[in-house]
């Protein structure tokens, strides 16, 4: 471990510019981006676009999404976008493990396309999806883009065989808007433009990365946040560069807390001026900007050690009296992650309903989504869940519904809990409700006449646990009328649909009454 990391009690580098999915800060904008990407992948095929200025986190976001893809999705990840058509096809075939036959008598492009088509058909028959991801897509030539469009034509009678994700700078949008590429542009099924962080997200971003790196105490003075935003305009890569070099400078002079003046000095070494805020640069400037950052960053430490003016400003501020930004007890979590936490399951950061549904089964849980739920439905289900509700600006936001009582509800977003009265909740709730529950392994459902000895035995044991006077009925494993009558009585007592069918509602209530440690929505009788 680096000595400078030990100086701050860190286990790893918190502000590396390497696109590590483990450090992705789940801002609301990033969650929207993931949702758009997953929506595009859930469609039958076509192009997906992710654009954004240099340093806004496109690659980190892409790798986070790829890391969380289900096992049936194959990925060809192409990093080098400055390729000729034949090289682009060869790269895609290599990434997918496609064997190329002899090219005798045929062009190499023809051989690649035919082999790829056969491979995609076989993968489709096996229930697999195929995704091609191309980074720095603004560098793709018109010929390669047209080849990709033709690849997107590969299909069966009912399904497209390819999804193609193009990740690039804003110039990509201008390129696709050209008349000769209108056919490709019309095949884009989902697109999202990633923006820098907003000012209110900056402190949480810093805390999130420090927490992931093992920090247990404040490291940046609270006043650093305004200075840092002025210097970076919320561009994550610039934030990381300045913070990283501020930590190095603080370590070199044995300072434990980074101050605004130290941030400015780090920015001088990286950006060239501490007096002028970094603007939202025009596109042409981004061609040279990353190179400038790298060159200046390499020389920073040596320059810092010999810069007497920097040492003077540090010594003047070695014992700051201003309050510091606190480290959160745990990283800011999404409502989907929070839902799993209530079931004592740590799944890291989740960003969508689709991920929640996919992960639930791994932990013996089942995710259920109701689109037009009512308060009565919530009482019957009696499990916490994720809802969509309007915020003060009228935008729908996903939050964790953690409690329902006679007065109202409690909702959580990250670490914050808010109490809403019932009328306010009903007026602003979209009606969607995504919840988790633990279905019993022994039973899925039972209707009159079903024969399932294991399920019937489980049912009778649970009914006996609820009602000690319940009689054991011998039915040779058959769900007989006598047992149906017991279930009807149970359903009526519990004020749930009394139809004698052992379905989701009945199983939910039996679990609630006979198992320990189940998180409940109703903490007290309504």
How many other β-carbons are positioned within 10 Å of the β-carbon of residue 493? 12
Q: What is the pLDDT of residue 351?
A: 64
Question: Which CATH number covers residue 477?
Answer: 1.10.101.10
Does 177 lie in the same domain as 217? no
Distance CA 473, CA 466 (A): 16
| Strands 163-168 vs 73-78: parallel, antiparallel or unpaired | unpaired
322 located within any domain: no
Q: What are phi and psi of 126, to 5 degrees?
A: -90, 5
113 located within any domain: yes
Does 54 lie in the same domain as 173? yes
Nearest partner of 351 among 15, 64, 3, 40, judged by Cα: 64
Total residues belonging to the chain: 526
- Residue 21's pLDDT band, with cuts at 50, 70 and 90, is confident
Distance CA 489, CA 29 (A): 50
Does 122 lie in the same domain as 155? yes
Nearest partner of 494 among 522, 471, 472, 516, judged by Cα: 522
Does 186 lie in the same domain as 88? yes
Does 258 lie in the same domain as 240? yes
323 located within any domain: no
Q: What is the pLDDT of residue 96?
A: 92
Q: What is the pLDDT of residue 354?
A: 66
Nearest partner of 356 among 396, 323, 385, judged by Cα: 385
Does 141 lie in the same domain as 110? yes
Q: What is the pLDDT of residue 253?
A: 84
18 located within any domain: no
Condensed to tens digits (0 to 9), the pLDDT of residues 271-284 reads 765 444 444 333 33
Mean pLDDT, residues 63-80 taken together = 89
Domain boundary among the residues 194, 224, 249 is at: 194
Does 69 lie in the same domain as 209? no
Domain boundary among the residues 287, 316, 345 is at: 316
Condensed to tens digits (0 to 9), the pLDDT of residues 317-349 reads 333 333 333 332 333 467 888 899 999 988 776
Q: Which of 35-44, 62-71, 378-387 has the lowest mean pLDDT?
A: 35-44
Q: Whole-number mean pLDDT of the chain? A: 82
268 located within any domain: yes
* Domain count along the chain: 4
Does 486 lie in the same domain as 416? no
**Dihedral, 57, 62, 67, 68 alpha carbons, nearest 10:** 100
Q: What is the pLDDT of residue 403?
A: 93
SS3 484: helix
Question: Which CATH number covers residue 52?
Answer: 3.40.50.300
Token pair for 525: 């009788």
Domain boundary among the residues 136, 169, 194 is at: 194
Distance from CA of residue 164 to its chain's centroid?
A: 20
User: Where in the sequence is the domain holding 378, given as residue range(s)?
Assistant: 335-437
Does 213 lie in the same domain as 309? yes
Does 130 lie in the same domain as 32? yes
Kindly list the distances between the CA atom of residue 337 and the CA atoms of 23, 150, 212, 340, 495, in Å, as whole numbers in the listed order: 15, 40, 16, 5, 32
Question: Which CATH number covers residue 376?
Answer: 3.90.70.10
11 located within any domain: no
- Residue 103's pLDDT band, with cuts at 50, 70 and 90, is low
39 located within any domain: yes
Does 404 lie in the same domain as 282? no
Q: What is the pLDDT of residue 280?
A: 39
Inter-residue contact 202 to 234 (CB < 8 Å)? yes
CA within 13 Å, CB half, 244: 21
Instruction: Kindly tell me if the per-residue pLDDT of 8 is higher than 80.
Output: yes
- Residue 377's pLDDT band, with cuts at 50, 70 and 90, is very high
Does 339 lie in the same domain as 248? no
181 located within any domain: yes
Quote the percentage of the chain above a pLDDT of 70.
85
Distance CA 429, CA 443 (A): 33
SS3 447: coil
Q: pTM of this prediction?
A: 0.55
Mapping DSSP onto H, E and C, the string for 40-76 reads: HHHCCCEEEEEEECCCCCHHHHHHHHHHCCCCCEEEE
Distance CA 179, CA 157 (A): 29
Condensed to tens digits (0 to 9), the pLDDT of residues 378-414 reads 999 999 999 988 877 676 788 899 999 888 999 987 6
- Helices 224-232 and 202-212: crossing angle in degrees, nearest 10, is 100
Instruction: Kindly tell me if the per-residue pLDDT of 489 is higher than 90.
Output: yes
- Residue 254's pLDDT band, with cuts at 50, 70 and 90, is confident
Q: What is the pLDDT of residue 331?
A: 38
- Residue 480's pLDDT band, with cuts at 50, 70 and 90, is very high
Instruction: Kindly tell me if the per-residue pLDDT of 108 is higher than 90.
Output: no
Q: What are phi and psi of 314, to 5 degrees?
A: -70, -45
Condensed to tens digits (0 to 9), the pLDDT of residues 118-165 reads 999 999 889 899 999 999 999 999 999 999 999 888 887 777 889 999
């Amino acid at each position: 471990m680096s000595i400078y990391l030990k100086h701050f009690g860190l286990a790893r580098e918190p502000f590396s510019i390497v696109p590590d999915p483990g450090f992705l800060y789940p801002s609301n904008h990033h969650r929207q981006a993931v949702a758009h990407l997953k929506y595009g992948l859930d469609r039958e095929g076509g192009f997906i676009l992710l654009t954004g200025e240099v340093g806004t986190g496109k690659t980190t976001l892409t790798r986070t999404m790829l890391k969380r893809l289900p096992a049936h999705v194959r990925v060809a990840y192409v990093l080098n976008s400055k390729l000729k058509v034949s090289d682009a096809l060869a790269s895609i075939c290599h990434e997918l493990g496609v064997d190329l036959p002899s090219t005798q008598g045929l062009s190499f492009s023809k051989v690649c396309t035919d082999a790829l088509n056969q491979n995609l058909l076989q993968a489709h028959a096996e229930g697999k999806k195929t995704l091609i991801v191309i980074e720095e897509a603004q560098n793709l030539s018109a010929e390669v883009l047209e080849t990709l469009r033709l690849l997107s034509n590969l299909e069966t009678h009912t399904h497209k065989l390819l999804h193609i994700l193009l990740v690039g700078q804003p110039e990509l949008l201008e390129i696709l808007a050209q008349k000769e590429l209108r056919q490709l542009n019309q095949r884009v099924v989902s697109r999202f433009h990633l923006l820098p962080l907003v000012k209110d997200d900056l402190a949480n971003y810093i805390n999130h990365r420090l927490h992931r790196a093992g920090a247990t105490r404040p490291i940046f003075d609270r006043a650093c946040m305004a200075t840092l935003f002025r210097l970076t305009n919320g561009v994550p890569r610039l934030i990381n560069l300045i913070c990283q070099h501020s930590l190095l400078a603080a370590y070199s002079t044995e300072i434990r807390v980074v101050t605004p003046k130290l941030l400015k000095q780090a920015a001088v070494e990286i950006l060239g001026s501490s007096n002028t805020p970094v603007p939202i640069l025009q596109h042409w400037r981004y061609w040279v900007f990353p190179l400038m950052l790298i060159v200046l960053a390499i020389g920073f430490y040596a320059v810092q050690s010999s810069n007497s003016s920097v040492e003077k400003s540090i010594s003047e501020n070695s014992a700051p009296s201003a309050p510091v930004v606190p480290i959160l007890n745990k990283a800011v979590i999404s409502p989907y992650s929070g839902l799993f936490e209530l079931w004592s399951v740590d799944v890291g950061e989740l960003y969508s309903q689709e991920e929640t549904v996919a992960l639930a089964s791994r932990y013996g849980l089942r995710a259920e989504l109701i689109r037009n739920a009512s308060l009565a439905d919530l009482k019957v289900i009696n499990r916490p869940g994720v809802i969509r509700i309007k915020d003060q600006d009228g935008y729908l936001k996903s939050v964790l519904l953690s409690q329902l009582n006679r007065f109202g509800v409690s909702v959580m977003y990250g670490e914050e809990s808010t109490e809403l009265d019932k009328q306010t909740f009903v007026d602003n709730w979209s009606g969607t409700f995504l919840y988790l529950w633990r279905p019993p392994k022994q039973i899925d459902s039972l209707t009159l006449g079903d024969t399932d000895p294991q399920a019937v035995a489980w049912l009778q044991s649970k009914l006996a646990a609820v009602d000690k006077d319940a009689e054991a009925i011998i039915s040779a494993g058959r769900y007989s009328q006598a047992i149906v009558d017991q279930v009807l009585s149970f359903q009526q007592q519990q004020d749930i649909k009394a139809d004698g069918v052992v379905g989701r509602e009945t199983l939910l209530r039996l679990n609630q009454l006979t198992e320990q440690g189940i998180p409940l929505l109703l903490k007290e009788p309504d």
